[in-house]
Structure 1
Amino acid sequence: MSRRYTVTALPKRAWVTMAVLGVVLPLILGSALPWILASEAKPGAPLWVMVGGPMLVAVVSAAFMGWGMRRLEVEIVEGTLIVRAMIYTRKLPLAQLDGAHARIIDLDQERAWAPVLRLNGVGLPGVQIGHFRGSPFRRRLFCLLTSHQRVLLIPELHGESYLLLSLEQPQRLLDALRM
C-alpha cells in the first residue's frame, strides 16, 4: 500500500527565476550576437560559439530545472519513506526515523533549523532542494522546501541527520510516522 503526501506548491518567484534564466537571458545573449559579430573579430573560438554556448546552457538548464520541479513527491511505500525531489531521491525505512521527535515548524520563527550551507542541491528564490548543512554545521539536512511555513522536521535516529519537508498537510505524515 502506498500513501502520498502533497508537496506545497512552488512559489511564483521560483518560476519567474527559471523563466528569466531560460528565456530572458538567452534573448539578451542572442540580441547581443549581431553586435559582437560586427565588432572586431578576435582569434580563438568562433563568436557564435562564444555566445551560442551560454545561450544553449541557459535554455537547457532552465528546461531541466522546470522538469525537475515537477518531480516533487513524498510517499510511504511498504514501510519506507520515499522523498523524490528533482534529481534527488531519499529512501528511509520508517524504523530509522524518530517519529516521536518529529514536529511541524515555521522556519521563519525557528531560524536554527534553516539550511545554511548548500552541499549538493538547488537554491532558487523560495526553493531549497537537496543536501544542506544547518546550524551548527554538523547538522545534515535533506531538504524539500518550497515554503517556510508548516515544514515537517523529521530527525533520523542515528547522527545529526534531518529531513525538512514542505507539505500541504504535514500533520498527515506526522501521524503516519507516529503510528
Structure 2
Amino acid sequence: MTQIFALTPLGVTGTLSFIALLIGLIGIGIYIYYKALPQTSKVVIAAVLLPMVIAFSWMFYKVNDAKLIVTADLITIDVPFYQFSLPIEEVDLVGVRQLNWSAETDTEFKPDLRVNGVGMPGFQLGWFSLGGHSKAFVAVTETDNVVLIPTVQGYPILLSLEQPEALLSHFK
C-alpha cells in the first residue's frame, strides 16, 4: 500500500527569500541590458541568467508540492532537482523520529554547511554537513516538524513534514 506524506510548504521567510532572489536576478538582467557593454557580453550574461531564473522559478513552484512516498518496498523523496528512492531495507525504521531544535536538543542534526544544494533563509534543500560533522540529505522549510530518517548507508534524511506524527505512526 502506498502512502504519501506532504512536505511542509514554504513559510513566509522561505517565500520572501525566493521572491528576493528572483527579483535580484531579474534586476541584474535589466541592469546588464541597459549597461554599455559589448553585445557578446550581454548575450553570454543572458545565457547564464535566464536558465537561473527559470530554474529557481520552477523550484519555487515545485517545492510546495514536495512529498515523501512510502511503499511496502521503498521510500521515494520527491523534491525539486533531488528526487531519489531507497529500498525500505536501507532505512533504519526504528530510528525514525521527530527532531526538536527549538528546545536546543538534537543540535547534532542541524544543517551546517551546504555541500550540494540550495540554502537560504526558510529553505534548505540538498546535501548538507551537520553539526555532528556527518553528511545528510535535507529538505527543510520549517524547523518545527523535522523528521529524522536514518539510513544504513550512514547518512540521515531530514524532512519537514506537514504531519510528522502520521509518518511516525506508519513506521511503528
TM range (shorter): 0.7 to 0.9
Instruction: Identify the residue that residue 86 of structure 1 maps to in structure 2.
Output: 80
Would you say 1:147 and 2:138 are equivalent positions?
A: no
Q: Is the alpha carbon distance of 1:62 and 1:92 closer, same or farther for their aligned partners in structure 2, counting shifts above 3 Å?
A: closer
CA contact (8 A) 1:76 1:82 kept: yes
Offset at residue 71 of structure 1 (A): 4.3
- The answer to whether the 8 Å contact 2:146/2:158 transfers is yes
Q: 1:93 to 1:51 in 2, by over 3 A?
A: closer
5+ residue gaps, structure 2: none
Aligned residue for 2:18, secondary structure, equals helix
2:72 and 2:96 mapped to 1: Cα distance? 20
TM-score by length of 1: 0.80
Match of 1:17 in 2: 17
How many Å apart are 1:54 and its aligned residue?
A: 5.3
Question: What's the CA shift string for 1:1-34, capped at 9, x where partnerless?
Answer: 2111121121122222222222344235415633
The ranges of structure 1 where at least 4 consecutive aligned residues each deviate by more than 4 angstroms after the TM superposition are: none
Q: Compare CA radii of gyration and give the structure with the larger one.
A: 1
* Aligned equivalent of 1:127: 123
Residue aligning to 1:100:
94
For structure 1, the 5+ residue unaligned runs are none
TM-score, length-scaled by structure 2: 0.82
- The 2-side partners of 1:24 and 1:117 are apart by 23
Partner amino acid, structure 2, of 1:79: D
| Aligned residue type for 1:93 | P
Amino acid at match of 1:124: M
C-alpha distance in 1, partners of 2:148/2:61? 26
Structure 2 CA distance for aligned equivalents of residues 67 and 124 of structure 1? 16
1:88 deviates by: 0.8
Aligned-partner Cα distance in 2 for 1:119–1:45: 35
Which of 159, 164, 170 is the equivalent residue of 1:170?
164
Could you say which residue in structure 2 is the equivalent of 1:118? Answer: 114
CA-to-aligned-CA distance 1:33-57 (integer Å, 9 cap, x gap): 33x23xxx6xx65453366445424
Cα 1:162–1:47 change in 2 (3 A) is closer
Q: 1:97 to 1:62 in 2, by over 3 A?
A: closer
Q: What SS does structure 2 have at the residue aligned with 1:171?
A: helix
Q: What SS is found at the alignment partner of 2:93? A: coil
Maintained 8 Å contact 1:22/1:60:
no
Structure 2: how far apart are the matches of 1:47 and 1:94?
50
Q: Distance in 1 between matches of 2:153 and 2:42?
A: 51
Q: Percent identity?
A: 25
